Amino acid sequence: VTRIALMTLGPVEPRVLRLMGETLESTFGAHILPLTALPDPAHAFDMGRAQYSSTVILRDVLGKKPPGAAKIVAITERDLFIPMLTFVFGQAQIDGAAAVVSLARLRTEYYGGEPDSALLVERALKEVVHETGHTFGLTHCHNTSCPMSLSNTVEQVDGKGKDLCVSCSLLLADRLRNPISKE
C-alpha cells in the first residue's frame, strides 16, 4: 500500500488536517503517515511580495520525506506564490514525491466574508486531491467538475467536486499498478 507522509508548516487546525488525510487515504488507497508539525517556513518568505515561495517550500518538503513514504504532502496556512503568478493554491511535482497546499485563499475570510469552516474543508479536500494527484502523474483535466481541473480562482474550486472523474480514476489506477517516480 502507498504511504503518504502528511506534514504541516505552521499551525493548521487538527480537524482540517485529519479530514484531508482521510480523503487522501480513500482517494489514493493510501495510508497516511503523520509527521511532526514544522514551524512557519520563515526562510521561504519573500519580503517584496509578502508571500511564501512555493518552490522553496516544495524543495524543503521533499527533503523531509521519510524513506517509508512514497509521497509527502505539506499543508500550510501561508499564502504561496510562484514567480509568474499572483498566488497558487498549491504546487506539486508531476510524477514526483512532494506536494504543498495552502489554505490561505481557501478561507472565506480572505475575501472579506465570515469564516465558514465547512466550506474551508470542502475546498481543502479538493485542492489536496488535486496537488497529490499531480504526484501520481495526473495532469490537468478538462472536466470542470473533476478535482484535477485547474483552478485559478476560488469560484473554480467551488465549481468542482472532490471525487476524480472516470478518466482520472482510470489513469490513477494504472499509475498505482505501475508507479513511476522521478524523485
C-beta of 44 vs 148, nearer to Zn ion: 148
C-alpha dist (Å) from residue 43 to 53, 56, 119:
9, 8, 30
The Cα–Cα gap between 147 and 62 comes to 23
Beta bridge pairs of residue 171: none
C-beta of 33 vs 133, nearer to Zn ion: 133
- One-letter amino acid at 167 equals S
Binding to Zn ion (CB under 5 A): which residues in 69-88?
none
All 3 cell numbers of residue 58? 516544495
Q: How far is the CB of 118 from Zn ion (least distance, A)?
A: 24
Among 5, 146, 171, 172, binds Zn ion (CB under 5 A): 146
Q: Is residue 168 part of the contact set for Zn ion (CB under 5 A)?
A: yes
C-beta of 33 vs 147, nearer to Zn ion: 147
Among 141, 157, 171, 172, binds Zn ion (CB under 5 A): 141
Strand order of the β-sheet with 51-53 is: 45-46, 51-53, 80-81
Q: Are 22 and 88 in contact (CB under 8 A)?
A: no
C-beta of 9 vs 141, nearer to Zn ion: 141
Q: Are 60 and 33 in contact (CB under 8 A)?
A: no
3-class DSSP state of 92: strand
Q: Is residue 20 part of the contact set for Zn ion (CB under 5 A)?
A: no
Active-site pick, 109, 127, 131, 155: 131
Q: How far is the CB of 76 from Zn ion (least distance, A)?
A: 17
Q: Is residue 98 part of the contact set for Zn ion (CB under 5 A)?
A: no
Q: Of 63, 84, 81, 80, whose CA–CA distance to 72 is shortest?
A: 63
Q: Is residue 100 part of the contact set for Zn ion (CB under 5 A)?
A: no
Q: How far is the CB of 36 from Zn ion (least distance, A)?
A: 27
Q: Is residue 58 part of the contact set for Zn ion (CB under 5 A)?
A: no
Q: How far is the CB of 106 from Zn ion (least distance, A)?
A: 15
Q: Judged by CB under 5 A, how many residues of this single chain contact Zn ion?
A: 6
The Cα–Cα gap between 68 and 106 comes to 31
155 included as an active-site residue: no
Catalytic residues: 131
